[in-house]
Structure 1
Amino acid sequence: MRGAASALEHDPSAALEKPPREQSRWLMALARAARLPLLLAGAAPLVSGVLLVVQAWLLASVLDAAIVGRAPRQELIGGILGIAALMLLRACIGWAGERAGASAAERIKRHVRQSLFRRLVRKGPHWSRSRAAGELASAVVDQVEALDGFFAKYLPAMAAAALLPVAFSVVLLPVDVIAGLVLLITAPLIPLFMALVGWGAQGASRRHLRAFARLSGFFADRLRGLSTLKLHGRAEAEAESVVAASDALRLRTMSVLRIAFLSSAVLEFFAALGVAGVAVYIGLTYLGFLDLRWTPLTLQAGLFCLLMAPEIYAPLRQFAAHYHDRAAALAAVTQIAALFDGLPQDEDMRGEAGGEPVRTTSADRGKGAALMAGALSVQAPGRGLPVLSDASLALAPGEHAALMGPSGIGKSTLIEAIARLRPCQGDIRLDGRLLADWSEPALRGRVALIGQKPQLLAGSIADNIRLGCPGASDAAVQDAARRACVLEFAAALPQGLDTPLGGRGHGLSGGQAQRVALARLFLRDPGLILLDEPTAHLDEATQERVLDEILEFAAGRTLLLATHAPAVAARLGRILRVAGGKVEDA
């Protein structure tokens, strides 16, 4: 870990890498998801800028009338109230603009997270198993969160910085040409030098986010294997590794902050130079040391120039404050693209694979599904030969079949391929339609899969059973638990089905967890049931009862059950055997 952290820290080429143009375009295209609030957020500083000009001119007029014209206070009340009203109105516009920007950012982040989640679902568990879970979680949560400042702050500030300084300088030209030209010349220098600093900020942000994602994955993996590490006496050594990784991340964070402070220093230097130049020019003109005007410089004109001079740099100062948000967003997009094998495209945004996806109808419910697979080949990582090669399988609607063969021969692989959870080559058809043509919700409604390693979440036993049908009533959950023989052990627990479980079903044995997962099946109405060793961890008596309930529930439905037990296979109408990459009738 130390070596990897060092390599990342001292990789100068990484700082000079620019994200592909497609990533920048993709980031800007996300604005379509929140077009109206972004327009409001961008328009708010522009409207506020117009009101600022009126406010500055009105304030200069009031001061000129009070000092030069010696106007009584009563005559100044109207102008003072106007200034107060403009300040209040500008504050309200600024608040509305910030709310609109925050709303746009939240809408876009939700849109991106849903797209990434759809891509995760579409790629399936076979793809996600090859990635570090902590890095994927960090991408969906932390990397997407890095987009917040780009849309909420950077884009509105960029619109204001691009228009307001030039507009303010042009407004000053009729009042005083010299002051307007000084500000018009010095203002564009700030974005130029900020861009030079920004290249380094973008590289530093990219390295920082990459290290943060790796630290998230590193910490999640160590936390998951904490009991194993303690058993092997590696807890203290891994704790030191976590400390070292955290220190490396702290150093990267400080490098990003140093560049951010440098960017602010560049802006403040040029802003102070421009404001000081205007102030010196106006002061020397009033003292009579400079005479570059055709007409005398009035107090109102001089005050107006002095009031507007710092405001010309205010949008640029705001832009500089949020310039690192752009670098952080681009770095986050680069990290997301690397982790997800590219950025979410239109099909991920829409949630469908394109075309006309097959959907289930009420006529399909309760009916067995027809399954046909031909020329099926599946390659497993780390194995030279394919697990399945030119295999074929056909199940008629309502047919029950047992799938047998030694461990590692490909039974689970075949079941996962049929459920579209593992990439494969060949032709798989469900109800006569290609498996790839089915939409994800329709396929999951038509096919039910209970694997060897059930996924249980932190929550009660009832909550885990209800994953099969989130809207199931308590009575339905109770009946499903009875049919899966869950009540036999849940009755002995203090809270019964409401007993809370830890992550991954911590607190239950392997057989108990298998029965909880199996109970979900009885809450569903699939046409094809795929079971992988559903009775492997059960004693003989419980196995018989569970199998009775499975066969009763599967009546009229198509069932494919992988098992090693001849007694279980004998109760199904057909036995298939996997051998030599083929599937044949026994």
Structure 2
Amino acid sequence: MSRPRTIRLRRTGARPAPAALGLAREAARAGLRRIHGLHALRSAAALGGAVALARLTGALIETGELDDPALGLAVACALAGAWLAAAIEGRSAVLEAEVGAGLIDAAQAQLTAMPARTATALPRGALIAGLQRHPGALARLVVGHAAARRMMALGPLLTAATLASVSWQAALALVLASPVMIVFFALVGGMIRERAAAQEAALGRLATQFADRVRALPTILAAHSLAHEAGKLDRRLRAYSVGTMGVLAVAFLNAGVLDFFSSLTIAILAVFLGLGHLGLAEIPGFAGLALWQSLLILLLAPEYFAPFRRYAELYHAKAEGEAAADALAWVFPQDATAGAVIVGPRLEAPGVRGLVLPHTGPVPDFDLPRTGLVALTGPSGAGKSTLLRVLAGVEAPRAGAVRLPEAGPRTWVSLENPVPAGTLHHALTDGVVAPPEALARAAAALGLADDPHWPGGLDAPVRAGAENLSGGQRMRIAVARLLLRPGLAFCDEPTAKLDPVNAARVRQALRAAARHRLVVVATHDPALAALADRRVSLGATPLERQAA
């Protein structure tokens, strides 16, 4: 046998905007306009209140008398600002709920329209956790964060224009402090985005692993592996916790730097104004001002930085929302048609071109042989199962094109394959017509005909939900079905739940099947990978290196 060819995949290249993000923005568009209008009115009320309060305080200090018009305006602006703030919070919460509910409804509709085999192949834990978190995170991105971004552009301009009517030099000082914060946002943004994306992917893997261990709990207990499996979950949970704290630490650093620069700028303004009023320095724009004008500058300086502070508070929402949009790619594919995995130009030869996977990003191009065993290898979280689902047409890629060697039937093999109640004979022939000789050979090749833990041969009983079968027995049934069905085969960790003897049987069965068709496996099993005609090796993720 020729030496297997190994293709190592690296994640490079730009990724297109997720379709889920566009759908959420469209759903929020009309409501967001009203929220933007309320924000603008609230800024106007805050500016008017600051002017009224400055004049009221200045007159009270200098003359000891109340300025009744200024007092009335200050009260009116305060009441209007409070009402507008409540209205903004209420409308934002309602709009976020509507956008999130719309995304959930769309996901449910997609699940309902999926073929049963496709739906059952989805990772259940990641699916449940994702539908609980991702729509809400995406709604916060397109509502709360979008409003904060718009006001970060509009609010400071309104404040600077108001200040310029009193002292354009003071307004210029505030404007010159803005680029420093914007540059820092850009520098910190990439760090938060990468960590948030890793966290969303880690949560999906953690939920999927937990759901799988709960379902396989009888097998784990029978194998006395409870402590081992609990340790694996605990390590992944600790890695997720450390990653979460890392995201929060960067977000707090972002807010802290903003507070530092805003406080420093306000302090400089206060010193300049104080020196001007004491006559110790003639600083243009800060000397010769009336008391109420100096007070107005000090009142409006924090208002100038308030939109930046609000944006910093929601910056982690931006990263979480973008990661959620990527994670929802299975619900909202960029360009998917039923039964096809072609997204982009049709390929001339079987293989992959420009493929971008959900969660794990782009992979380089590689070819697919017409027959043979192809192994997708790499550490947990590298994207093996995702790439396998994309190749099989179970999951849509975010971009790129896949052409398979043939357009015939495809067989999916995983621990999640349903096993109908009845007998082993019924389970093996579910959805396929096979002669008795072929059925007997397949059962014997996988050790099902004489399994000491499941006596009865082809008449061995299968209870509802296959509750009397271990994970390894279910996997061997799925591989036996593969031997009885024609066409391409895609196997997700086919030896993961098997003892050494049965794992060897599965390896030989897959190797034999690959002599006449293409068999693609995602595996951690080095012995199975060694039998492959071609290996595609995916790299590790930073979070998985923490968990190791």
Determine the structure 2 residue equivalent to 1:40.
34
What letter is aligned with 2:318? R
With over 3 angstroms needed to count, the CA separation of the structure-2 counterparts of 1:274 and 1:328, relative to structure 1, is same
What letter is aligned with 1:272? S
Is the contact made by 1:170 and 1:180 (CA closer than 8 Å) also made in structure 2? yes
Residues 190-246 of structure 1, C-alpha deviations (whole Å, 9 max, x = no match):
122112101100000000111011001111111122222222212222112221111
Is the contact made by 1:115 and 1:344 (CA closer than 8 Å) also made in structure 2? no
What letter is aligned with 2:291? L
Is the contact made by 2:35 and 2:92 (CA closer than 8 Å) also made in structure 1? yes
Q: Check if 1:21 corresponds to 2:16.
A: yes
Determine the structure 1 residue equivalent to 2:314.
322
Determine the structure 2 residue equivalent to 1:291.
282
| Aligned counterparts, 1:42-121, within 5 A | 42-71=36-65, 75-77=66-68, 79-121=70-112
Which shifted more, 36-45 or 255-264? 36-45
Determine the structure 2 residue equivalent to 1:164.
155
Give the Å deviation of 1:42. Answer: 2.2
With over 3 angstroms needed to count, the CA separation of the structure-2 counterparts of 1:159 and 1:127, relative to structure 1, is same
What letter is aligned with 2:411? A
Determine the structure 1 residue equivalent to 2:194.
203
1:154 is paired with a residue whose SS is: helix
Q: Check if 1:150 corresponds to 2:150.
A: no
With over 3 angstroms needed to count, the CA separation of the structure-2 counterparts of 1:241 and 1:135, relative to structure 1, is same
Q: Check if 1:278 corresponds to 2:265.
A: no
1:186 to 173, 177, 200: 177
Determine the structure 2 residue equivalent to 1:307.
299
Distance 2:273 2:430 in 1: 87
Q: Check if 1:263 corresponds to 2:254.
A: yes
Distance 2:280 2:60 in 1: 26
Determine the structure 2 residue equivalent to 1:218.
209
Identity %: 24
Distance 1:272 1:86 in 2: 25
Is the contact made by 1:134 and 1:218 (CA closer than 8 Å) also made in structure 2? yes
Residues 156-209 of structure 1, C-alpha deviations (whole Å, 9 max, x = no match):
111111111122112211201211110111123212211210110000000011
Give the Å deviation of 1:93. Answer: 0.6
1:242 to 209, 233, 237: 233
With over 3 angstroms needed to count, the CA separation of the structure-2 counterparts of 1:150 and 1:341, relative to structure 1, is closer
Give the Å deviation of 1:52. Answer: 0.9
Is the contact made by 1:116 and 1:344 (CA closer than 8 Å) also made in structure 2? no
Is the contact made by 1:206 and 1:331 (CA closer than 8 Å) also made in structure 2? yes
Residues 121-171 of structure 1, C-alpha deviations (whole Å, 9 max, x = no match):
223221123332111222222222222321342111111111111221122
Residues 372-391 of structure 1, C-alpha deviations (whole Å, 9 max, x = no match):
xxxx95332369xxxxxxxx
TM-score, normalised relative to structure 1:
0.55
Determine the structure 2 residue equivalent to 1:231.
222
Is the contact made by 1:37 and 1:103 (CA closer than 8 Å) also made in structure 2? no
Residues 61-119 of structure 1, C-alpha deviations (whole Å, 9 max, x = no match):
11121111232xxx445533432332122111111111111111111111111222222
What letter is aligned with 1:379? R
Is the contact made by 1:150 and 1:329 (CA closer than 8 Å) also made in structure 2? yes
Distance 2:132 2:336 in 1: 19
Is the contact made by 1:134 and 1:216 (CA closer than 8 Å) also made in structure 2? yes
Distance 1:505 1:26 in 2: 36
1:313 is paired with a residue whose SS is: helix
Residues 19-63 of structure 1, C-alpha deviations (whole Å, 9 max, x = no match):
72322x751442221333222222222111101111011011111
The size of the alignment, in residue pairs, is 354
TM-score, normalised relative to structure 2:
0.59
Distance 1:245 1:331 in 2: 19
Distance 2:413 2:87 in 1: 57
What letter is aligned with 1:412? G
Greater relative contact order (CA < 8 Å, ≥ 6 in sequence): 2
What letter is aligned with 1:62? L
